[in-house]
Amino acid sequence: MIKFGIIGTNWITQMFIEAALKTEAYTLTTIYSRSQTRAEAFLAQLPVDDVTLVTTLSDLFTAVDVVYIASPNALHFEQAKAAIQAGVHVIVEKPATSNPAEFAEIEALLAQNPAVRYFEAARHVHQPNFKRIEQTLGELPQVQGATLVYQKYSSRFDSYLAGEEPNVLTREFSAGALYDLGVYPIYAAIALFGAPRAVQYLPTLLANGADGKGVANLFYDGFNVTAIFGKNANSYLSSEIYGLKETIVTSNIAELETVTYHDGEGHVDNIGETPDANPMVQEAQDFADMINDPVSTHGQYRQWFQLAKQVNQTLFDLRSSAGIVFPADQKES
């Protein structure tokens, strides 16, 4: 069993814990929080016992094989660095780092610690329905681009409207629409089509300078991909991938509840399957397989690592095109 601990006591952490336990490959041993009271309240919601609560990272890292990091974006880099230096595998929520300079430092540190695995938790590209999209895309005689959508009104946006500064809507924490929900369509685009030759981001900025929603254009040879995402409005648009007259349609590019193939002649086939109620199960299983068998899975691990690296670069290029600067960028420069 893989002993794992968590950083971040929120709903996404609870979802990952449930997914990891469902695989039967992990056992939760340790919860880290700077607040003992918050950690106790979080533990009370979990179907587990015999879990240690710690308030220092050193105590966390000595107790686990792998750490799942779901803290605010701006904290991912330093916490992942500390884990790698302690010889602990890392599963870090997207976005893995704030900028390519941080990612490069992580890559260099991993080279010094070759036994450590570092995963970005982009759950949708691990799901069976995403694999079905990849397979069907490969069968199209021609590709003419895509429109990828993921826009949901944030549970924290009412707080922003009330004058507060939630972490997920501030540049100080390397956040905003692009570095949250926008990661899903950008990840999907690069996983499906590779790195774009150029990008453009057209954000709608909040009063604090963070992006509330936006449209990203990724330019490829012969076609474009448009990504629509946001945290201050809801969208019910489907995501579409265009062949010549064929179209692959999914409910949205992050949740992938349904996937259908339209042949352009009036025939529609359901090519997906009913997803697991917890969308993080497959990624948790994939990461466990790579931790338990690093040799035979090394090739796939390198592919996912390079995908994460390219996504990080593309996110940075997109927000640079819009003039959005994070404090983390100034620190690195």
For residue 306, what are its two tokens?
A: 């390079």
The beta strands (E) that lie in the chain are given as: 2-7, 26-32, 52-54, 66-69, 89-93, 118-121, 146-151, 198-205, 211-220, 223-230, 239-242, 247-250, 259-262, 268-270
Which amino acid, 245? K
Mode of pairing for the β-strands spanning 239-242 and 247-250: antiparallel
Q: Are 47 and 27 in contact (CB under 8 A)?
A: no
Residue partners of 155: CB distance under 8 A and separation at least 6 = none
- Which contiguous run of DSSP H or E holds residue 41? helix 36-43
Bond from prior residue into 95 cis (ω within 30 degrees of 0)? yes
Query: Phi then psi for 121, rounded to 5 degrees?
Result: -85, 75
- Residue that the structure tokens 């700077």 belong to: 34
Residue of 104, 100, 121 whose CA lies nearest to 6? 121
Extract the tokens encoding 169: 């809507």
Coil, helix or strand at residue 247? strand
Instruction: Give the distance, in angstroms, between the CA of residue 102 and the centroid of all CA atoms in the same chain.
Output: 16
The end-to-end CA distance of the chain, in Å, is: 41
Which residue from 84, 70, 283 is spatially nearest to 187, judged by alpha carbons? Answer: 283
pLDDT for 130-165, tens place per residue? 999 999 999 999 999 999 999 999 999 999 999 999
Angle subtended by helix axes 100-112 and 298-321, to nearest 10 = 160
Residue 44 burial (CB count, 10 A) = 7
Contact 98, 73 (CB under 8 A): yes
Query: Does residue 223 sit in helix, strand or coil?
Result: strand
Give the 3-state secondary structure of 115-158: CCCEEEECHHHHCHHHHHHHHHHHHCCCCCCEEEEEECCCCCHH
Residue 171 per-residue DSSP state = G
Q: Which domains does the chain have, with CATH numbers?
A: 2-121 (3.40.50.720), 126-279 (3.30.360.10)
Q: Say which residues have a Cβ less than 8 Å from residue 59's Cβ, sequence separation at least 6.
A: 30, 32
Residues β-bridged to residue 227 = 148, 216
Whole-angstrom distance, CA of residue 285 vs CA of residue 134:
20
Beta-carbon contacts of 151 under 8 Å, excluding residues fewer than 6 positions away, are: 181, 213, 228, 229, 230, 231, 233, 234, 235, 237
| Tens of each residue's pLDDT in the chain, 333 residues | 999 999 999 999 999 999 999 999 999 999 999 888 889 999 999 989 899 999 999 999 999 999 999 999 999 999 999 999 999 999 999 999 999 999 999 999 999 999 999 999 999 999 999 999 999 999 999 999 999 999 999 999 999 999 999 999 999 999 999 999 999 999 999 999 999 999 999 999 999 999 999 999 999 999 999 999 999 999 999 999 999 999 999 999 999 999 999 999 999 999 999 999 999 999 999 999 999 999 999 999 999 999 999 999 999 999 999 999 999 998 644
pTM, two decimal places: 0.96
Residue 77: φ, ψ to 5°: -60, -55
